[in-house]
Structure 1
Amino acid sequence: MSEQEKRVDQGGVDALYEESTHWHVNTGEETIHAKRMPGMWRNLKWLSSTVWIFFFLGPYLRWDDRQAILLDIPNEKFHILNITILPQDVWMLALVLLFFSILLAAVTSVAGRVYCGFFCFQTIWTDIYTLIEEKLEGGPAKRRKLEKAPWDLNKIRIKTIKHTLWLLIGALTGVTFAAWFTDAYDLWIGYFTFTAPTVAWTVLGLFTVGTYVLAGFMREQTCFWLCPYARIQGVMYDEETVLPTYDLNRGEPRGKLKKGQHVEGMGDCIECNQCVAVCPTGIDIREGQQEGCITCALCIDACDSVMDKINRPRGLIRYASYDEIQGKPTLPLRKRPRVLVYFTIMTLAVVGLVYGLTHLGAIELKVLHDRQPLFVQQSDGSIQNKYFIKLLNKTDADMKIRISATGPEQMVVVGADKTLVARKGRLNSYTLFVRVPSRLLESASTPIVFKVEQVDAEEITAEYTSMFMGPRR
């Protein structure tokens, strides 16, 4: 009996899944040259990577006379189309971060590291870098042969072209990242005329070198040793998580094909090792779920293509849960408490974000009552209160405003008879005095409503309710 058969007899499915001693983790002593094979998951992988086109094109979209999306950190403003978000609205950014962090957890608990396999910039950039490498140097065997070959003019030419393209992609990544924080067209002019600020050159250098090293050389080592998400993803899995999985019951015991025919009693796995050859991290999915698996599903394409050739049904490696492989019934999402909690938090974050965006407004008003003293009695017997008006102008233009107030009878607002200017993107402060005849005050505190409106556009208004303080009655 073979060692593999003994393992199956002694522990079955559980033994193979838990036998971590068979995990292979490349610690950097070898370069992974993954084979590229066509298939549904490879096509889906390329399709999902197109979401990063927006990263490169987004800074060049215009809205009126400025960049459509501009994260203007020096001036403490975020411009998104016609919406301007100031530091006072930073709580909405917290909701965005909360949504995407919980989304990662939710997707991982349902279908594993989908982000890592299909959307992560490290994965996609590495895929593009290795595609360039394959086009210039050939398939995995040719690349390994070229690595060992002595340096000659042909090798120098190929390596020079490859590394130049890698550096150009890294530089373009750096410029694009910087362009989200300043006007993209001005940034390009600054780079070409060598007048760009120091921070722009620093970003360009860091992203060029970082992309070149991480995607070109470290590759899967970044996922193993630098990415924190790779470390915490294991605790997000459960028996219901759907992952690329090798069907041990169907595939074992493994055996080579003899004259194109299966040996009686052997499983469907023919030890072709194509699932290992296409894996970007070099793991063997047949040894169970491992830290290096980024759930890119390329091993499924490889195995399906082999099953087609030997006239066996597809799905020896497929997206399946641990319970499904063991023949247990699977729970629908609506009956999985953890998933429901994740989606509830995501829903609340979206609701809060929508509320914030729809109630953003062009101006924001706050009124502070002077507490020392609460009121002053004038020589004519009237009571005077002092108020500090705080007006935040969220627009990109200075606006002329008018301040008014409603409250007790015969109330007089001192300082509200003139037009004031609210500077763009700033918190503007004004001081007003309100006087009311003492005989008309019925209590020690009376509501008073302040109103600010733009002179040229009366639909832009803001109100704030404060209190008018007087002597006790």
Structure 2
Amino acid sequence: MSQNRKSADSLEDLYADTLHYHVNTGGETIHAKRMPGRFRNLKWLTMSTWLAFFIGPYLQWGDHQAILFDIPGRKFHLFGATIWPQDIWMLSLLLILLAITLFGVTAVAGRVFCGYFCFQTVWTDVFTWIEDKIEGNAIQRRRLDKAAWSADKIRKKTLKHSLWLLVSILTGITFAAYFTDAFELWNGYLTFSAPYIAWVVLALFIAGTYILAGFMREQVCFWLCPYARIQSVMVDKDSILPTYDYHRGEPRGKVKSKSSDAATKGDCIDCKMCVGVCPTGVDIREGLSEGCITCGLCIDACDSIMDKVGKPKGLIRYLSHKEMDGVTLPPVFKRPRVITYSTIFMLAVTGIIYGLATIPPVELSIVHSRQPLFMRMSDGSIQNKYTIKAVNKLETDQRVSLTVKSSSGDVHMVKEAYFKDITLKAGKMVPFSIFLQATPASLEHENTDVQLTIQGITQPDITVTYDSVFVGPKK
């Protein structure tokens, strides 16, 4: 018991870090204690993946950026693939894929995205890390906030906000760089020659990052993020979440020297350290809360306290409600919700892979004129007008020829020689009109199937066909 007394003495300093343990509704700033542990290490690891965000716009692939969302050019460059407006359905599949991944992970393990990958969570953690390094630990930061203004306080606050603004500026420029040439954008900003819209985007992103990550912090999770509101319909009793084992922890009580008193208490010593490290300030012991982002930092904190008082770890751990009640969980892939999400996920992946593998080098769109459907010429022949839009998705100009073939009848192009050699500019859409002509006697039906084919001259392997119809008078 002397060991417990020593441990209790060593915990006195820790209690001061957790004075503010109620859910914050915006009336105060939460200063969470930063503690080492396996979930903190995991959080640093997942946060480091955001380095790719800052590197992405500066990678080159051929003669363009590896990742470039060229809105004026109406195309997206994703490494070796170029996505055009005609292929936008793949973007829809990608959004479905990301949403289903989010839903599936939430159904299995709660708000893992919020805890480890969310832009707001990651940038807030970076901002509070800077704050911790400059202003000190949680106790020191609270004291500094309450202290009168002095030269030392002004120095620390100025340095902190300067670094916050620097991170916000880098974030804003990097975000804008995904939509234009990154190096030209930097040159534009540094020489104050960037276009007006570039300054607007930068200002909005700086303000958003600075305010949301620096000041609002957990309030975004509580009041602005819709995901916190709808998580209750995504999790169930099978979902594995950071959970307080009340069977083992209750009744709570401070560490006492008397063994008889200790025997009547649970393992929770009510130190509130789990609340003190929570970035949103919620009490995990009160059950699932919309403020819990399942980051697991409370588990690190509780395990460290259990080590100090000589009790087993795991008072707070990833656990499902069924496991808490002693029920064995079914295998993950036997759960109906997971099966549904997995099926949609695989269908979306298959669609995206198919789309990327079958993107045609030349996209052909042909619209038959409806006003009028056909024209009767002075020589008695029938003409139909077609508007053609040919998009060259390659990086080089392409010479192509256009031919027509009909299922029956003598359907041919007017001035056919003009279409034997057409140049499609690289990355451009070439619109033009053609007229198909036929004699009424050669038409067997009112509607005759026709097939228009673009055949590559520069690259003979390019062949694109389009099925349409030639309309004639009623038989």
Shift of 1:73: 1.3
Match of 1:449 in 2: 451
* Conserved? CA contact 1:402–1:452, under 8 Å: yes
CA–CA separation in structure 1 for the residues paired with 2:235 and 2:385: 60
% identical equivalent positions = 55
1:285 partnered with 2:284: yes
Q: Which region of structure 1 is more displaced relative to structure 2, 155-164 or 376-385?
A: 376-385
- Which of 172, 176, 191 is the matching residue for 2:170? 172
Q: Counterparts in 2 of 1:38-53, with a 5 A limit?
A: 38-53=36-51
Shift of 1:438: 5.4
1:414 partnered with 2:414: yes
Match of 1:433 in 2: 435
Q: Which region of structure 1 is more displaced relative to structure 2, 411-420 or 142-151?
A: 411-420
Match of 2:148 in 1: 150
369 and 314 in structure 1: CA distance in 2 versus 1, 3 angstrom threshold: same
Shift of 1:439: 5.4
Shift of 1:113: 0.8
Match of 2:272 in 1: 273
268 and 465 in structure 1: CA distance in 2 versus 1, 3 angstrom threshold: same
User: Tell me, what secondary structure is at the counterpart of 2:449?
Assistant: strand
Match of 1:11 in 2: none
1:467 partnered with 2:469: yes
456 and 297 in structure 1: CA distance in 2 versus 1, 3 angstrom threshold: same
421 and 415 in structure 1: CA distance in 2 versus 1, 3 angstrom threshold: farther
* Conserved? CA contact 2:386–2:434, under 8 Å: yes
Root-mean-square deviation over aligned CA pairs: 2.3
Q: Counterparts in 2 of 1:313-462, with a 5 A limit?
A: 313-371=312-370, 374-375=373-374, 384-407=383-406, 408=408, 412-418=412-418, 419-436=421-438, 440-462=442-464
Match of 1:311 in 2: 310
Shift of 1:382: 5.6
Match of 2:18 in 1: none
**For residues 372-428 of structure 1, what are the alpha-carbon distances to aligned partners after superposition, in whole Å with 9 as ceiling and x for unaligned?**
555556677765444332322233444322101223476543333232233444443
430 and 320 in structure 1: CA distance in 2 versus 1, 3 angstrom threshold: same
Shift of 1:89: 2.2
CA–CA separation in structure 1 for the residues paired with 2:159 and 2:174: 22
CA–CA separation in structure 2 for the residues paired with 1:294 and 1:398: 52
AA aligned opposite 2:390:
L
Match of 1:99 in 2: 97
AA aligned opposite 2:131:
E
User: Tell me, what secondary structure is at the counterpart of 1:185?
Assistant: helix
222 and 368 in structure 1: CA distance in 2 versus 1, 3 angstrom threshold: closer
AA aligned opposite 2:356:
L
Shift of 1:347: 1.9
CA–CA separation in structure 2 for the residues paired with 1:471 and 1:172: 66
* Conserved? CA contact 1:402–1:416, under 8 Å: no
AA aligned opposite 2:122:
I
122 and 373 in structure 1: CA distance in 2 versus 1, 3 angstrom threshold: closer
AA aligned opposite 1:149:
A
Q: Counterparts in 2 of 1:221-240, with a 5 A limit?
A: 221-240=219-238
Match of 2:218 in 1: 220
What are the ranges of 5 or more consecutive residues in structure 1 without an aligned counterpart? 1-22
CA–CA separation in structure 1 for the residues paired with 2:435 and 2:148: 87
Q: Counterparts in 2 of 1:29-44, with a 5 A limit?
A: 29-44=27-42
**For residues 25-76 of structure 1, what are the alpha-carbon distances to aligned partners after superposition, in whole Å with 9 as ceiling and x for unaligned?**
2112221111111111110011111221111110001111211111111232
User: Tell me, what secondary structure is at the counterpart of 1:199?
Assistant: helix
1:88 partnered with 2:86: yes
108 and 260 in structure 1: CA distance in 2 versus 1, 3 angstrom threshold: farther
Shift of 1:134: 1.1
1:55 partnered with 2:53: yes
CA–CA separation in structure 2 for the residues paired with 1:377 and 1:197: 53
* Conserved? CA contact 1:452–1:462, under 8 Å: yes
AA aligned opposite 1:54:
A
Shift of 1:84: 2.2
Q: Which region of structure 1 is more displaced relative to structure 2, 66-75 or 169-178?
A: 66-75
TM-score (norm 1): 0.89
Shift of 1:258: 2.3
Q: Which region of structure 1 is more displaced relative to structure 2, 390-399 or 53-62?
A: 390-399
Match of 1:256 in 2: 254
CA–CA separation in structure 2 for the residues paired with 1:347 and 1:158: 51
Q: Which region of structure 1 is more displaced relative to structure 2, 54-63 or 370-379?
A: 370-379
Match of 1:69 in 2: 67
Match of 1:211 in 2: 209
Shift of 1:466: 2.3
* Conserved? CA contact 1:449–1:463, under 8 Å: yes
What are the ranges of 5 or more consecutive residues in structure 2 without an aligned counterpart? 1-20
CA–CA separation in structure 1 for the residues paired with 2:360 and 2:378: 42
CA–CA separation in structure 2 for the residues paired with 1:235 and 1:438: 65
Shift of 1:92: 1.8
439 and 203 in structure 1: CA distance in 2 versus 1, 3 angstrom threshold: closer
User: Tell me, what secondary structure is at the counterpart of 1:154?
Assistant: helix
